[in-house]
């Protein structure tokens, strides 16, 4: 079956010996079939909520800063932003180089730089620092003196699937995990708590495997130790 909303719902229907839906009757399906749709979306939602930084939810955002403006709203679908990724993009027209921004705490910004928001001529230039505000905005300092381009990365909240051809954000190789989760919710809909308990364990194991494959990684560490033998040669056989 195709890897889309219709295909996933029909996977559930097949496991439960229900008639499969088609693209013609998918949108109007009711009763158990509507529950099957809800089960698939609930499964994908559960997977997404089980970890904040799934790679498939990663987004690179690029936007223009405005001259004289310090604070900017984060995207509405932003779950968590990686503050360590903010950088000013090279722009030959504005005559600026690419520059990574250093993280500044909101408290330090208020103590040291906040006057730039009330004094248009104070502390302007190419931004060097970025901070996050309590109301899910980010800000830069110095206050931009030109409309510089900024780039940063965040992890989004995916939207539910609606149409038959909608494709889930979760990669296809984890289709079986989505279906195990959908079966868990389908069994709950049918008050089959025994089978729901069994499949829930399998569902959680699948998410654990996803985390191992996609999240857990060992960073490469380069040794900075000095090899004395390479500097002075071997001392074997040297007499006094």
SS3 at position 36: helix
| pLDDT surpassing 50 at residue 240 | no
Asked if residue 161 belongs to a domain, the reply is no
**What's the sign of the alpha-carbon dihedral 6, 11, 13, 17?**
positive
The alpha-carbon radius of gyration of the chain (Å, integer) is 26
Asked if residue 83 belongs to a domain, the reply is yes
SS3 at position 203: helix
**Total of domains in the chain:** 1
User: Mean pLDDT over residues 169-174, rounded?
Assistant: 97
Asked if residue 221 belongs to a domain, the reply is no
Domain of residue 107: give its range: 57-155
In tens, the pLDDT along 104-151 reads 999 999 999 999 999 877 889 999 999 999 999 999 999 999 999 999
Asked if residue 213 belongs to a domain, the reply is no
Asked if residue 8 belongs to a domain, the reply is no
Dihedral pair phi/psi, residue 158, rounded to 5°: -70, 155
Q: What local confidence, expressed as pLDDT, does residue 217 receive?
A: 62
Asked if residue 208 belongs to a domain, the reply is no
pLDDT > 70 fraction of the chain, expressed in percent and rounded = 90
Asked if residue 175 belongs to a domain, the reply is no
- pLDDT grade for 156, boundaries at 50, 70 and 90: very high
In tens, the pLDDT along 175-207 reads 999 999 999 999 999 999 999 999 999 999 999
Q: Give the separation between CA 141 and CA 38, rounded to whole angstroms.
A: 45
Asked if residue 134 belongs to a domain, the reply is yes
């Amino acid at each position: 079956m195709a890897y889309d909303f219709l295909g996933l719902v029909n996977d559930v229907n097949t496991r439960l010996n229900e008639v499969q839906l088609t693209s013609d009757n998918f949108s109007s399906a009711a009763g158990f079939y509507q529950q099957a749709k809800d089960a698939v979306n609930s499964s994908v939602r559960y997977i997404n909520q089980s970890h904040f930084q799934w790679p498939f939810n990663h987004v690179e955002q690029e936007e223009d800063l405005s001259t004289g403006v310090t604070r900017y709203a984060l995207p509405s679908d932003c779950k968590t932003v990686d503050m360590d990724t903010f950088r000013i993009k090279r722009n030959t027209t504005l005559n600026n180089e690419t520059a990574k921004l250093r993280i500044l705490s909101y408290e330090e910004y208020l103590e040291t730089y906040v006057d730039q928001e009330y004094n248009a001529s104070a502390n302007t230039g190419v931004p060097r620092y970025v901070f996050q505000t309590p109301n899910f905005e980010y800000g830069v300092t110095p206050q931009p003196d030109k409309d510089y381009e900024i780039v940063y990365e965040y992890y989004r909240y995916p939207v539910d699937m609606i149409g038959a051809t909608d494709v889930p954000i979760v990669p296809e190789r984890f289709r079986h995990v989505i279906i195990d989760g959908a079966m868990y919710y389908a069994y709950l809909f049918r008050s089959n708590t025994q089978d729901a308990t069994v499949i829930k364990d399998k569902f959680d194991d699948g998410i654990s495997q996803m985390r191992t494959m996609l999240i857990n990684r060992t960073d490469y560490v380069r040794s900075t130790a000095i090899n004395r033998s390479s500097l002075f040669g071997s001392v074997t056989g040297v007499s006094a």
